[in-house]
Amino acid sequence: MTITLRPGQERLIEEVLGSESYHRVQEVIDRWLELLQDRDAWLA
């Protein structure tokens, strides 16, 4: 799957990577998706 990010989204990912908590974009995406699933489960 290929996705296109808006410039602001790219900047946010770069900021997160710069924090050294995450080392790869895939880690950032995985974590965000996990958080969304948790939030959706909590709201259900």
At 12 the pLDDT is 95
pLDDT, residue 44, reads 85
In three-state secondary structure terms, 1 is coil
Residue 30, pLDDT score? 96
Q: pLDDT value at position 20? A: 87
Whose tokens are 């895939």? That residue is: 26
pTM: 0.77
CA distances from 44 to 1, 18, 23, 39 (A): 28, 34, 32, 9
DSSP string of 5-19?
A: --HHHHHHHHHHHHT
pLDDT, one tens digit per residue, over 1-44 is 899 999 999 999 999 999 989 999 999 999 999 999 999 999 98
Domains in the chain: boundaries: 7-43
- Please tell me the predicted confidence (pLDDT) of residue 4: 96
Residue 33 is classified by DSSP as: H
Question: Which distant-in-sequence residues (6+ apart) come within 8 Å of 25 by Cβ?
Answer: 13, 17
